[in-house]
Amino acid sequence: MNFRSGRKQIESVFIFCDAPSETLLSNDNIIDGGLLPLSEKELSFKCESTGEHDDSLVSSSFNAEASTYCSNSKGEKFAGSNRAEALRDEILKQEELYLSKLTTEDENPTQEGKHEDCSPYTKLISKDLKPFQSGITKDMIDEASARGILYQVLGGKLYRKRECNFPNRCSGIEHFLVEIAKSLPDTEFIVNISDWPQIPAWSRAVIPVFSFSKTSDYADITYPAWTFWEGGPAISICPKGIGRWDLIRKSLISTSKKIKWNKKQAVAFFRGSRTSNERDPLILLSRKNPHLVDAQYTKNQAWKSDRDTLNAPAAAEVSFEGHCAYKYLFNYRGVAASFRFKHLFLCNSLVFHVGEDWTEFFYPALIPWIHYVPVEKSAKEEDLRFLIQFFQANDDISSRIAARGYDFIVRNLKLSHVFCYWRELLSSYTKYVTYNVQKRGDVIPIS
């Protein structure tokens, strides 16, 4: 028996202030001698026998005590390779496929200066704007205005509706918009600066609203989050909140060069507040297996007692640089997509990304098993243990995935790429605006 890929590519923070310083297969998957159908969002394997075979695709959500089984066309079950071997084979195949598609330019992935454009991300712009191909009218903007902040570009200058409930968030995006406005035609658009997207995908109304994060259940237009400059969550060791991606990049790149792969602790690491119970299994695994995982909950603004940190004292916060001492770093969503994600890659550690629902503008360009390890959001303690132990035992694979994730973010996620994405997004968006934009009476100039 062998395994062939049936893969479909799938698509949370810590801190930085204003200066340097967030199954395979189990018996449950086998029904009536057949196999459960594959979820679109799951990594998959195709099982086949040397004789007749079942072409069903098998879910890869990990189940702790499972052997791998396939079913032939007669419904007979038979044992195959164990899941660790199957996972290793699958990752190696994905690596081979990825490497075969690299261009000559991509063969030197650690060289900065390449890909200063934002081409790895522009497919998302086309996808997000597709509903507006018939045009964006003034009535649409008026209807959308209750869902966010109105911005206008007039004569190369930026204007904004006077009220902004989160001034630092507005400032965080205006750092980019003021500069980009100089090269844009007159236009206006609505920016949602809350955490939650605004436009359900099932809504009959086609309303253009920009949001920093969303799931496939929403039709908002994705823009780069304010935290690339300022306005991120404030915690005790960074009271002004996360920001200045340019500075944290330099600090983390410097730190990662000082802590080589073979000097990192072969332990999984996580620090963050309990914004979702999806994080509980890793915390509980850590309490039972501290040699395998160091994962603890920290306080957030809603913390009142140890009950808010899963019945244990709140742990101290740890800087991004402190994360770099560990080989395996876990990323979970927060209320929406986590601002932590991009920072973890710059430790040159292996990133475990839990859940693929919530995305930011750069997520679709990252490839699971190539740049990071995808983990189901429903993963249990035994699933997490299996994955961590697998990558401990396969250090060669771990270091390669970590290096590719690091290289991708180093090369393709600088502030210049954020400027580029905003420029491409607004230039493309404005092509669909069907009316002459006039200055509204309640806007103020932003400089």
- Give me the DSSP letters along 34-57: EEPPPPTTS-EEEEE-SSS----E
Categorise residue 320: left if φ over 0, alpha if ψ from -120 to 50, beta otherwise. Answer: alpha
* 195 noted as active-site residue: yes
In whole angstroms, give the CA distance from residue 264 to residue 98.
Answer: 27
| Structure letter (DSSP) for residue 348 | T
**Residue 142 near residue 161, CB atoms below 8 Å:** no
Catalytic residue, candidates 117, 195, 280, 357 = 195
Backbone region of residue 80 per phi and psi (left: phi > 0; alpha: psi in -120 to 50; beta: other values): beta
By the 8 A CB rule, do 109 and 404 touch? Answer: yes
- Distance, in Å, from the CA atom of 106 to the CA atom of 365, rounded to the nearest integer, reads 14
SS3 295: strand
Q: And the tokens for 247?
A: 């500075």
Which two tokens mark 403?
């290096």
Helix (H) or strand (E) segment spanning residue 342: helix 340-345
Backbone torsions φ then ψ of 47, nearest 5 degrees:
-100, 140
Q: Tally the C-alpha atoms within 13 A of residue 256's C-alpha that lie toward its C-beta.
A: 22
**H or E stretch at 150:** strand 149-154
Any idea which residues carry the catalytic annotation? 195
